[in-house]
Structure formats: structure tokens, C-alpha cells
Structure 1
Amino acid sequence: MDRTVTVLGNGVVHPRIAKQRTELVLSQPFFGSLALRLKMVEDRSTRECWVDGESLGYNPDYVDNLSDLELRGVLALKVMQVANGHCWRQGARETGRWSDSSQYAITPILTSSGFVLPRGALKDARFAGKSAEEIYGALTQEAKQKQPKPDQQPKSDQQAPQQQPKPDGQSSGPDGKGGGDKPDDKGGNSNPQSQAGGQSDPEPAAGASCGEVRQFSGPDKPVKEAEWKVAVVQAAKAAKMRGKLPGDLQAMAGEAVRPVVDWRAVLHRFAQQSSPTDYSFAQPNRRYLHLGFYLPSLHTPAVGDAVFVRDSSGSVFDETQAQFDAEILSVFHTLKPARLIVMDCDTRVTQVQIFERGDSPEIQPVRGGGGTAFTEPFNRVAADGINPAFLVYLTDMDGAFPAFAPHYPVLWASTTPLTRARRAPFGETVEVIC
């Protein structure tokens, strides 16, 4: 495979890209000023284009096959993927699906701003206004649901490559043509199954017409991320002064620079602070006994019950549930509460698991699937005589809350961004980004 990559330095840029970038500066200054921050890289190993927070790589043949308006739209898309932080937030997610999620999140903004995108660009009304993380979770869930059950797996090795879905969960574009008629070498990584025997992929690659977003791999990631946040704010202010900043972009700019809090750190801090700690003379501080001082020592009595509730309505995806379960176990092993109580609830409590101190808990998969209401777990705690040190509720916040606050601390772990989540009438809320 040709892996030729050429960095166009000293101001040399593909003439069509240079022209459309200039058009962005003049007509859409928010996008234009940010586009100037990206280094243009000719990359014939990629089928279309990519962006990684520092460079915009492109195949010149792909550029030449786009109309002027489509090329301008693709440039705006790549800029927005960086401006929204998608190059920094991928983590361990699969690149192809993350690129699709990023495109789903951004295309509504570009469409409302008057941009034209190539045919096959990913659009779905379900994902309007949602973050890339939310969309990625939905796409992952859909891919799992499409996988055949063990008893439905093909018995013939010859049939297996044709019937088994793509492991990366890619799907076709809205027009059903999503670029699957070519080998999928996005980012230079071709699918071996698609090339074996000259067969094409069983499912077309999604988002092929607009390239991919890659995770920034440089050593100065925090610095680059901070620089882009500052650049986004400055570009938004400059465009607003010229009267060329649509409302959708203004909201996006504010969201892009909003600080992201690690929900795991908040969860552990909440659990620690909810654990009783005080000074006591029952165990004097040995550090000062040799001096004749009888001083109290910091005493941490046994932590009561730690209660975790998982929203089982189906609105919280499996990947998030799995990561939440891992943090439940981490809190259990760190704090060593009297009991670990894990409840599942949709409109009613569907499963209760209780583990004693010293156990090696294996949390069972979430059980449920109905609507959403938050009252029953609190009623169950009172009815069963449970005295929680704290209660943590993982949910999308879309349900009926209890009328009264309990006497114990409550942390709402919201899978919906706090800017769109319903406000809980009591307790603390943290945004869960998985």
C-alpha cells in the first residue's frame, strides 16, 4: 500500500484547499480562523481525509472529486471535530465508530450554518444536540443488538465471514451507500475480511465521505487542548463582533470550553466524605505519648451500607454500566463498607444484590427494561431498614424524582450532559462521561 505522506510547508497548500479556506475566512470567520491553525498534510494512504488536532491530512484525489461547496463543508467539519475536543476525548474507543459519532454530532450544526457536505455524510435526527460520547454509546449498543446470539452463529467456516457483522459496528450512511463499495482503509488500516477473495465488506463503512477524526498522539496533549480552547473562544468573539456567529455556534463554543470533571474522582471523593471520621480518645495518638501528651487520634468507624442504584430502563448503555460497575467495586474495596447493596430499577426495583464486608462480589448484569422512575429505590431502602452511608444513582435523569430528600447523602451520576439534564431536587449531581 502506498504510504506517501507529504507535509506542505512554507505556505504551500493544495490550491483548492487554499481557496476554500480563504472563502471560510471571508464568509465564515469562526471556521476560517480555526482552519488556519491546522497544518495541511498530503496523505495518499488515506482514502479521504483525517484530522488529529494538529494536522489535516487529505488525499488529493479525494479533494479533486469534491465540489467547491463540499470541500468547504469538509474543511468546516474537520475544524469542528477539533474545536469540539473530539481529538482529545477518544480514549480507548474504536476509531471508526468514534469518527462516525463525531460526524453525527457535528453535521446538524454545519447544516444549520448553511454548509454543504458530500453525499453520504452522516445525519440522524435522533442524535441532534447530543454529544459524541452519547452517540458512541448508542452506536455501540445498536451494534451489540445486531450481533447474532451464540446459537445463531454460522456453523460453516465458509459462511462465517459473510454473515457475521463487522466488529467495529460500522453502518451504512442514510442513503445506504456510505462508501462500502471500496476497501475500507480509513487511516491506512484496511479490513482483512473485505479484501479476502476480493469480497467487499458485508456492511458499508459509515461516514466514508467525510474521513475520520484521530486521537492526538503528541506528548503535549494538555497544552494543545488548552490552546485550542482559547482559540475557539477568540474565534467566537471575533465572529460575533462581525455579526457572523449563529446561535448554534455560540452555544457550541461555550460547550467546547466547558471544563470536564472526572466523574470517577467525584464518586470516590463523595464516598470518602460520606464516611464518618472524627477524633477520639479511645485510641490515643501514639506520636505524642512519649512526650507525656494524651491527645486524641483520628478515628474512622466502620462505614455503613454503600447503596448503588443502576437505571435499568435501557437508557443507560452497556458500556457505561460496565464502567460504573467497575467503580462500584473500587469503592467497595477502598472503603470496606458494612454492606454493598446494588439495586436495579426502571419504574420498580427489578434486582437487589447484597454483598457483605469481606466478600468478593461479582455484580450481575443489569436487569429491567421498562420506563424510568426514581422513587422505588428510596422506598425500598426505608422498607428494608437499610441505613446507607450514601446512595449513588446512575441514570439519564429523565424520570420522576421522590418528593422528599432522604436523610443520607445522594449522588446522581447523570449520563446526560448537565447542560441538558433534568435538575434533581436534592443531592449532588455529576456528569458521567464514559
Structure 2
Amino acid sequence: MDRTVTLQGNGAVHPRISRQRTELVLSQPFFGALALRLRMVEDRSAKTCWVDGESFGYNPVYIDSLTDLELRGVLAHEVLHVANGHCWRRGPREDRRWNEACDYAINPIVLSSGFVLPKGMLNAARFNGKSAEEIYGVLTQEAKQKQPKPDSQPQPQPDGQSSGPDGKGQGDKPGDKAGEKPGKQPDGNGGGSQPPSRLGGPNDPVTEPGSSCGEVRQYQGADKPVKEAEWKVAVVQAAKAAQMRGKLPGDLQAMAGDAVRPVVDWRAVLHRFAQQSSPTDYSFATPNRRYLHLGFYLPSLHTPAVGDAVFVRDSSGSVFDETQAQFDAEILSVFHTLKPARLIVMDCDTRVTQVQVFERGDSPEIKPVRGGGGTAFTDPFNRVAADGLNPAFLVYLTDMVGSFPATSPHYPVLWASTTPLTRARRAPFGETVEVIC
């Protein structure tokens, strides 16, 4: 395979890319201004295009296969990946699925801005308005649900072969993508080699898994925080310039605001909330020993035993397994750090479905979430009151879609929202933090 990569300066840009980039500057200044920030890289090893926050890589053969309108749409598509911060936010997520989630997040915005994208691009109405992280969670959950169960029995096939987890027939095999037929191997960055598969709801278009007009790569430079901050400033400036010319669509206004919104580490907020909810004061009951030899009887900082730490997990099915697992890990971290009198973990859909209680000094193993169905937030608070508990604090992991209690409790409450705060319902009491996993 030809793996030639050619760095191009301003005077060596592919002529068709240069022409369509100029068209962007004139007709869509938001995209045009940001496209000028990207260095052009000819990469014949790429199947289509890629962007990494600094460069726009392309295979000239793919570029020449596009119409002018499609090429302009591909440029806007790749620019929007960087403007949305997709080059910085992947973390430990699986590469290909992250690419798909990012495409689902931005393609509706690209299309609503009047661009044309190549056939087979990923688009599903159920993902409109959702972030790449939310979509990734959905795709991951669906992939798990499509995996064969260990105790499933092989099903006979017309040709006499079997299907199932033994990998000898037509069942899903380890590494198979959800929705792909066996015998078809992923082709890396996409294309038309996979059969069509409906990933969305009944009104969603038929799309091809992995079919993409480009790849979003993670920025590898040591100056990642600086580069990310520079792009946030550039996005704001480009949005303001386009708005002054009356050429900033409504979808882009909302996207620009979300792209520069600071991301708060929910784990740090959770630990800070738990620490602040723990009583700490100076007391003469335990004098400060550092000054006793000097004859000074001074109080010392006294931290009495923390009361019960209560965590509630939304078990209605709206919070995905991956998020539940990370939340469980933080529950245990808080338990071992604060050493509360008891750790109480409740599961709740419309009613409390499971209660686990761990005493101080235990080595807790939190059981999987139990429940399903609708969502209501009242029963855990009723259970706390009915059982005579006196929590130091209560943390509730949920998507914030449900009925809240009519009155606020006397103890601190932290709502860990899996829905972005810009779209989440507002709780009538307590503090809310956005959980991004």
C-alpha cells in the first residue's frame, strides 16, 4: 500500500480543495474561517479524509471522486469535528465507534446548514441534538444487546450450518460490528463494502455502519490544552464574524455555544460534594498536641464520624451500563475515602427495586442494577424517611426525566445528570452536575 504523506504549504494545496475552501469563506464564513486554520496534508494511505485538530488529511483519489458540492460538504464536516472538540474528547473510547458517534452528532448540522454530503453518510433522526458522548453510549449499549448470550442455543441454518457463540456459523463473532453481516470485515474508515443496516428508528434513513466521509483523529501534540483553547477562541470569533454578516444558522449558534462551554469533571464535583457534606469543626475535646508542651490548651480540627452515604442509581434503563459501572467505581472511591458509617446503594425506576447496605470496614461489592420501566424520583426519599435514616448526603444518578419530590429533604442532594445540563430538566432542590463518561 502506498503510504505517501505529503505536507503542503499555502502554495501547494490541492486545486479543488483550494477552490472549495474559498467558496466556504465567501458563502459560509464560519466554516471558511476555521478551514483556513487547518494545514493540508496529502495522505494516500487514507481511505477518505481525516482531521486531527491541526491538519486536514486527504487522499487525492477520494477528493477527485467527489462533486464540488460534496467536497465543500466534506470540508465543512471535518471542520465541524474540530470545532466540536472531537479531536480532544475521545479518551479511552473505542476508535471506530467514537468516529461513528461524532458523525451522527455533526452530520445533521452540516446538512441543515445547506451542505451536500456523499451518499452513505451516517445520519439518524433519533440522534439529532445529542452529543457524541451520548450517542457513543447508545451505540455501545446496542452493541452489547446484540451480542449472543452465553447460554443461547445454536439455531439451524438452511445450509446445515449453525449460528451462535461457537463462532462456526452466522452468529456474531468477537469483534463483529453490531448490524454487520458475517464475512464482511470492517474497511477501516468506511466506504461501501458493508451492507445497509437500519440503525435508527422507523423514520430514520437507511445508513451503512462505518460509512463516513472522514475520520476524526486525536491530537497527539504535547500542547493539547493550548491547542484546544486556541480552537475554542477561534470558534467564538468565527461565529461572531459570521453572525455580523447574517450567515450563522441557528443550529450553528447553539453548537458554537456548546463547543466552548467549559467541561467540569463530575468525579471531582462528586468528591468535593461528599467532603463538604461531612461535618468538620474545631473541638476542645481533643486538644491540639502540637502546643501542649508550651502550656497552650488549643482546640484541634475534629472530624466526627460521617453519617450514612446514600447513592441512588436510576434503574429505568435510561442510564447505560458503561455509565453505571463508572458511577459504581466512584461510589466505592467515596466510601473508602470518607469512611461513612454506612454505604447505602438504592436502585429505583418508579419504585425502589434493590437496596444494598455496607458497614464501615466492609469490602463492598456492588451488585448490578436491578429494575426497568418508568422513572420517578420520590420513592428513595420516602424510603430514607420511613427507615429513619439520617444521611450525610444523597447522590442520585439519572437522566433527570421523571417526577421529583414535592418537598426538599433536610440533607444535601447531588443530582448526577447523564443528560447535558443545557437540555436536562431542572431539579427543584439540590446541586446538579453533568456526568460525561
TM-score (norm 2): 0.91
2:172 maps to a residue whose letter is: Q
Matched AA of 1:397 = M
CA offsets 1:189-230 (integer angstroms, 9 cap, x no match): xxxxxxxxxxx7788862423121111111100000000000
**What residue in structure 1 maps to residue 222 of structure 2?**
219
Take 1:210 and 1:373, find their aligned partners in 2: how far apart are those partners?
42
Identity of aligned residues (%): 81
Distance, in Å, in 2 between the alignment partners of 1:4 and 1:161 is: 40
Alignment gaps of 5+ in structure 1: 188-199
Alignment of 1:132-143 (within 5 A): 132-143=132-143
Alignment partner, residue 276 of structure 1: 279
Aligned length in residues: 417
State the partner residue of 1:8: 8
Q: Deviations over 1:150-171 (max 9, x none)?
A: 1237689984484225637454
Aligned position for 2:209: 206
Q: For 1:299, give the aligned amino acid.
A: H
Aligned counterpart for 1:235 among listed residues 238, 248, 260: 238
Secondary structure of 2:26's aligned partner: helix
How far the C-alpha of 1:45 sits from its partner, in A, is 1.4
Q: Deviations over 1:122-168 (max 9, x none)?
A: 11111111111000000000000000001237689984484225637
Instruction: Tell me the CA shift for residue 288 of structure 1.
Output: 1.4
Larger displacement relative to structure 2 (350-359 or 210-219): 210-219
The 5 Å alignment of 1:140-155 reads: 140-152=140-152
CA distance in 2, matches of 1:15, 1:46: 19
Asked if residue 416 in structure 1 is aligned to residue 419 in structure 2, the reply is: yes
Moved more, 41-50 or 329-338: 41-50
- Alignment correspondent of 1:107: 107
- Kindly indicate whether the alpha-carbon contact (under 8 Å) linking 2:349 and 2:373 is maintained by their aligned counterparts in 1: yes
State whether residues 96 and 170 of structure 1, in contact with CA within 8 Å, keep that contact through their aligned partners in structure 2: no
Q: Which residue of 2 aligns with 1:84?
A: 84
Counterparts of 1:381 and 1:186, CA distance in 2: 51
Contact 2:21 / 2:72 at 8 angstroms: preserved in 1?
yes
Matching residue's letter, 2:216: V
Return the match for 2:175 from 164, 167, 170: 167
Provide the TM-score with structure 1 as the length reference: 0.92
Match of 1:98 in 2: 98
Cα distance change, pair 385–158 in 1 and its aligned pair in 2 (3 A): closer
Q: Are positions 1:345 and 2:353 aligned together? A: no
Contact preservation (8 Å) 2:378, 2:403: yes
Q: CA offsets per residue over residues 295-341 of structure 1, 9 Å max, x none?
A: 00000000000000000010101110000000000000000001100
Amino acid at match of 2:94: E
After superposition, what is the alpha-carbon deviation per residue over 1:364-400, rounded to whole angstroms, capped at 9, x for unaligned?
1111111000000000111111110000000000000
2:74 corresponds to which letter in structure 1? V
Aligned mates of 2:345, 2:240 — CA distance in 1: 48
User: Aligned equivalents of 2:300 and 2:167: distance in 1?
Assistant: 69
Amino acid at match of 1:152: S
Looking at structure 2, the residues matched to 166 and 229 of structure 1 have their Cα atoms a distance apart, in angstroms, of 39
Amino acid in structure 2 at the alignment position of 1:404: T
Find out whether 1:380 has 2:388 as its counterpart. Answer: no
Match of 1:318 in 2: 321
Instruction: State the 1:242 CA deviation.
Output: 0.7
* 1:306/1:339 contact within 8 Å kept: yes
SS in 2 for 1:167: coil
